[in-house]
Amino acid sequence: MANLEVDFCGVRFKNPLAAASAEPTLNAANMKKCIDAGAGAVIAKTMTDSPEMRELTTKAKWRFLNEKHEVCQGRVPRMFSLYSRSGLAIEQPEDFIKEIRETIRYADKHQAVVIGSVGSIEEQGWVDLSRQMEDAGVPLLELNFGCPHPKLMPGVRTGMNVGQDFDYACGITRAVCESVQIPVIIKVTPQVTDLVAFSGLLKEAGAAAVTLTNRFIGFVPDIETGQPFIYGQAGIGGPWTKPLTLRWINEVRQAFKNELFITGTNGAYDWRDIVQFIMSGAHIVQMCSAVMAYGYDWLGRQVKGLEKFMDDKGYRSIDQMLGIASDAAMPYSDMPFEKARVNPELCTNCGRCLKVCFSDGMQAGDEATYVLAEKCVGCGGCLSVCPVQGAVVIEKV
């Protein structure tokens, strides 16, 4: 049986799946449900000293949108978007710390990890909140430099308002890392130009890990009413963001392999995505939107799916999968030349490949399509649209 254990920043996780900091980890009761479902870790809702961000959560709103960006009715499809307005932990820090301590006691009985999350409105506040979290007993701390909602709250400087100011963010990181003994994780916003450079600066400031990435800011009108959903701009994420997130995980892995731990979030829907996150370089994977759409049990189902996949493929440990796709990635200039080949015995002459070939490599035949080799560039469009498996193959030349 595969071993799902992970060593992350010196802390043992029984499996790499963590419930991300959001409504499913809003309080001790919610975090216990994540632990009961089988999550290896929970990242608590971000504790804050911002009254505005606490109040915002008391009137949180969200919608699950389908592939047409319409509000889902009943069934939430796989490629949904989570469109939401929310804030940070509702309780004042002195009250929320009680929730943290209660959750830690419960997690210890179930071999789960509780990761603290904080977000302040000034540098000293980040330090004070971080010390409170450390004193409460969390083994790891995440600084939330990525929350999209403060960007939509004029005058509130936390979340992505910090993450978009590299100098300010690194100053906070340095101050916190010098003030606590536990490893510090930085959760970043994707709405910057270069997360590799930022990750390097954060590492130099003392961060042990980065969380790639928080959500984007979006805007979606309802064409029936002419009004925006949930009254205006909102944070937006969900399974559709996965390739964007994996891009940054891959690049940070390539730049800082064995120097910086990575947690991946924003786009992980099921166990297949967990595998892709790990193969791209994420040591642990945070899940949020799918849990909000399908409930806490979703977490346990994905842990079981991951274990079965590893058993079926012969992976004995997470480390055997970690970063293997990232390590195998090659630059454009090193890509091999390839050509398409059509198996005339399987080709149904449907003509789909002709519509997507823009080099005139695919040619119509009387009974089957054939390839004009001197024009084919091996792009693979024909392979993608062919309805018969094996009728089109792409081969190196």
Q: Based on the fold, state whether residues 340 and 226 are members of the same structural domain.
A: no
Q: What angle do CA 126, 183, 55 make, to 5 degrees?
A: 35
In whole angstroms, what is the distance from residue 357 CA to residue 382 CA? 7
Q: Based on the fold, state whether residues 360 and 297 are members of the same structural domain.
A: no
The verdict on residue 243 lying in a domain is yes
How high is the mean pLDDT of the chain?
98
Looking up residue 390, the CATH number of its domain turns out to be: 3.30.70.20
Q: Based on the fold, state whether residues 178 and 305 are members of the same structural domain.
A: yes
Q: Based on the fold, state whether residues 375 and 392 are members of the same structural domain.
A: yes
Strands 6-8 vs 113-119: parallel, antiparallel or unpaired: unpaired
Q: Based on the fold, state whether residues 94 and 128 are members of the same structural domain.
A: yes
User: Which regions in the chain score pLDDT beneath 70?
Assistant: none
Which of 279, 300, 328 is at the close of a domain?
Answer: 328
Query: What's the pLDDT at 188?
Result: 98
Are 306 and 39 within 8 A, CB to CB?
no
Query: What's the pLDDT at 23?
Result: 98
The verdict on residue 1 lying in a domain is no
Query: What's the pLDDT at 295?
Result: 98
Query: What's the pLDDT at 388?
Result: 98
The verdict on residue 271 lying in a domain is yes
Structure tokens at 1: 């049986």
Q: Based on the fold, state whether residues 36 and 182 are members of the same structural domain.
A: yes
Which of 328, 352, 370 is at the close of a domain?
Answer: 328
Query: What's the pLDDT at 309?
Result: 98
Q: Based on the fold, state whether residues 373 and 276 are members of the same structural domain.
A: no
Query: What's the pLDDT at 13?
Result: 98
In whole angstroms, what is the distance from residue 102 CA to residue 37 CA? 17
Q: Based on the fold, state whether residues 189 and 298 are members of the same structural domain.
A: yes
Query: What's the pLDDT at 160?
Result: 98
Which of 277, 299, 328 is at the close of a domain?
Answer: 328
Whether this model's pTM surpasses 0.85? yes
Are 57 and 150 within 8 A, CB to CB?
no
Nearest to 24 by CA among 251, 291, 385: 291
Query: What's the pLDDT at 153?
Result: 92
Show the domain range for 240. Answer: 6-328
Number of domains observed in the structure of the chain:
2
Q: Based on the fold, state whether residues 221 and 83 are members of the same structural domain.
A: yes
Helix (H) or strand (E) holding 280: helix 271-280
Q: Based on the fold, state whether residues 42 and 132 are members of the same structural domain.
A: yes
User: CA of 332: how far to CAs of 54, 329, 335, 336, 337, in Å?
Assistant: 47, 10, 6, 9, 11
Considering just the CA atoms, what is the radius of gyration of the chain in Å? Answer: 23
Omega before 213 within 30 of 0, i.e. cis? yes
The verdict on residue 37 lying in a domain is yes
286-314: b (≥16 Cβ within 10 Å) or e: bbbbbbbbeebebbeebbeebbebbeeee
For 126, residues 6+ apart whose C-beta sits below 8 A from its C-beta are 118, 119, 120, 143, 172, 175, 176
**H and E: helices and strands count for the chain:** 14, 21
Q: Based on the fold, state whether residues 219 and 364 are members of the same structural domain.
A: no
Query: What's the pLDDT at 291?
Result: 98
Structure tokens at 342: 């059509």
